[in-house]
Amino acid sequence: MNLSRINTTGQWICFTIALSLTGPAIAEEATDSQEVPAYITPDQLSREDRMMLSDFSNRYETCMNETSVAQLQIQEDPRDVVDYSMKKCAVELENLNMEMTARNFDPNFRQGYIHHVTNHSVNKTLRMVMIGMANRQQTPTPPVE
């Protein structure tokens, strides 16, 4: 297209309008020719996908349990124990998120699943910590002689 031939304001306006009307059509045509891979939804999970999700969930829960047991001896407040464990084990959730992204899981499913894993593990760990602290308080200390 020879733009040097456009020399009036009216011609520039017509050119701009024509370009803006054809621009979206050209963009749509370009995206139609490129196949966008479909996201993996929960109903499309393979056995391998389910095993991967289970493995990451178990790793996070194990990390939470082990870290909480170690912190139980140091911290007095069960919320502090669980909070510390969540921060320490966040890398497991980050790894899960990266793996789910790499496998092209649906973003809503990915976020929901990670939220579910977090809530489940945190609630389970908090119960365990509270029971541990209650048992520690009930255990009589030997008399000092």
Lowest mean pLDDT: which of 26-35, 75-84, 99-108? 26-35
Q: Does residue 126 contact residue 78 with C-beta atoms inside 8 Å? A: yes
Residue (of 88, 53, 50) closest to 68 by Cα position: 88
DSSP-assigned letter for residue 106? -
pLDDT of residue 16: 45
Residue (of 120, 102, 122) closest to 112 by Cα position: 120
Which pLDDT band, with edges at 50, 70 and 90, does 135 fall under? Answer: confident
Q: Where are the domains of the chain?
A: 3-33, 45-138
Nearest-angstrom CA–CA distance, 14 and 20: 10
Phi-psi region of 104 (alpha: psi -120 to 50; beta: other; left: phi over 0): left
Q: pLDDT digit string (tens) for 20-46?
A: 444 444 444 445 556 667 898 999 999
